[in-house]
């Protein structure tokens, strides 16, 4: 098994793998001609498209929650929505957007189950009406040492957890994401990977008010390449903890095995809090490259959220 593993991009120093290339201009050109995928509502059939468009009109843009939105300049939408880590489609960050066309995002049942009193299956389209949506501006830090400032639309995960009523034995939350080789052309290219992409949090982390289930970004429903129709966002942890296109949320008493931890436990441990003092095995985490400006800035402990979440990690 381990020698079947194809190393991910982030096994290389970030500076060698993330140059914004001439490529981007070619893609922009194709998009302008309407030849490339990744339009917000680029759905697969007319029914899917109509339902999603009606939803978009009703719920977006959502009101910004100022209390959770530091006054930071936002990363450019064009860049944040075309520079993606989503290995189920491609390991080439700039190619993901062009490979999502066949991905069908409605209907989209999400199963919430495990150690809880009231397990539940909800369609992603029902979430906005059920829990309400708000916008929050969060810093986002990938383990590859690039970062962005992103206006997410969604709601606190703890609202959904309250609804299913976790049992006292529930110590962790497991997040399972879509595994559809017929719609996600990257899966079969990484056959040694333990699909589906799975992630997890401690229950206290999952219940923290900063932890969001996200259905939109930049005032619109999530584009497929950013994890439509629903993803997690945990702003004080490296980006890979924030699973995209979630299909299952499970309350459990065992620490879930995550995809990255299975592949390389020393490099991608379960906790994975942003920490400038702890280098990755092959590069420093002291600084980060702002994805749209190219500026190099200092990385903050807990990605700047130490005041809010530091208490979770007091020894």
Query: Are the CB atoms for 276 and 147 separated by under 8 Å?
Result: no
Taking CB within 5 to 8 Å according to partner kind, which of Mo ion, ligand MTE, none is near residue 260?
none
Only segment of 60-68, 126-134, 164-172, 234-242 that touches Mo ion (CB under 5 A)? 234-242
Least separation in angstroms between residue 103's CB and ligand MTE is 11
Q: Does residue 239 interact with ligand MTE by CB under 6 A?
A: yes
CA distance 243 to 146: 18
Question: DSSP character for 12?
Answer: S
Residues 81, 91: contact at Cβ < 8 Å? no
Q: Which residues between 133 and 192 bind Mo ion (CB under 5 A)?
A: 142
> Of the two residues 91 and 183, which places its CB atom closer to Mo ion in the complex?
91
Using CB under 6 A as the binding criterion, the count of chain residues that bind ligand MTE stands at 16
Q: How far is the CB of 299 from ligand MTE (least distance, A)?
A: 14
Chosen from ligand MTE, Mo ion, none, partner binding at 197 (C-beta under 5 to 8 Å by type)? ligand MTE
- Rounded-to-integer distance, Cα 102 and Cα 45, Å: 10
CA angle at residue 208 from 202 to 209, to 5 degrees? 155
Q: Show the 3-state SS of 93-131.
A: CCCHHHCCCCCCCCCCEEEEEECECCCEEEEHHHHHHHH
The pattern of x and - marking residues 160 through 179 that bind ligand MTE according to CB under 6 A reads -----------------x--
Binding mask 49-88 for ligand MTE (x = CB under 6 A): -----------------------------------xxxxx
Q: Which is nearer to ligand MTE, 158 or 224 (CB)?
A: 224
Q: Give the helix/strand (H/E) hosting 205.
A: helix 203-206
Q: How many CA atoms lie within 13 A of 301 on its CB side?
A: 7
134 with 78: CB under 8 angstroms? no
Pick the closer one to Mo ion by CB: 211 or 242.
242
Which residue ranges make up the site for Mo ion (CB under 5 A)? 85, 142, 239-240
Which residue ranges make up the site for ligand MTE (CB under 6 A)? 84-88, 142, 177, 197, 226-227, 239-240, 242-245
């Amino acid at each position: 098994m381990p020698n079947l593993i194809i190393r991910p991009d982030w096994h290389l120093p970030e500076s060698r793998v993330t140059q914004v290339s001439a490529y981007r201009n070619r893609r922009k050109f194709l998009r302008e001609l309407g030849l490339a995928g990744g339009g917000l509502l680029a759905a697969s059939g007319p029914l899917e498209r109509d339902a999603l468009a009606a939803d978009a009109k009703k719920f977006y843009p959502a009101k910004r929650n100022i209390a959770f939105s530091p006054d930071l300049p936002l990363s450019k939408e064009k860049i944040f929505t075309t520079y993606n880590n989503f290995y189920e489609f491609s390991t080439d960050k700039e190619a993901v957007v062009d490979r999502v066309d066949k991905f069908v995002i409605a209907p989209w049942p999400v199963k919430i189950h495990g150690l809880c009193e009231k397990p539940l299956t909800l369609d992603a389209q029902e979430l906005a009406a059920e829990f309400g949506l708000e916008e929050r501006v969060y810093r986002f830090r990938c383990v590859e040492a690039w970062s962005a400032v992103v206006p997410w639309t969604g709601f606190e995960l703890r609202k959904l957890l309250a609804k299913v009523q976790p049992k006292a034995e529930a110590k962790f939350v497991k997040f399972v994401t879509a595994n559809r080789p017929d719609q996600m052309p990257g899966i079969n290219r990484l056959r040694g990977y333990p699909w589906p992409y799975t992630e997890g949090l401690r229950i206290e982390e999952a219940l923290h008010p900063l932890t969001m289930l996200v259905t939109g970004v930049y005032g619109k429903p999530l584009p497929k390449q950013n994890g439509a129709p629903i993803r997690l966002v945990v702003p004080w942890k490296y980006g890979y903890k924030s699973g995209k296109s979630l299909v299952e949320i499970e309350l459990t008493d065992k620490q879930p095995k995550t995809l990255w931890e299975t592949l390389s436990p020393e490099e991608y441990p379960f906790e994975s809090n942003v920490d400038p003092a702890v280098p990755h095995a092959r590069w420093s985490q002291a600084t980060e490259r702002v994805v749209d400006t190219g500026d190099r800035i200092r990385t903050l402990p807990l990605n700047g959220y130490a005041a809010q979440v530091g208490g979770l990690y007091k020894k």
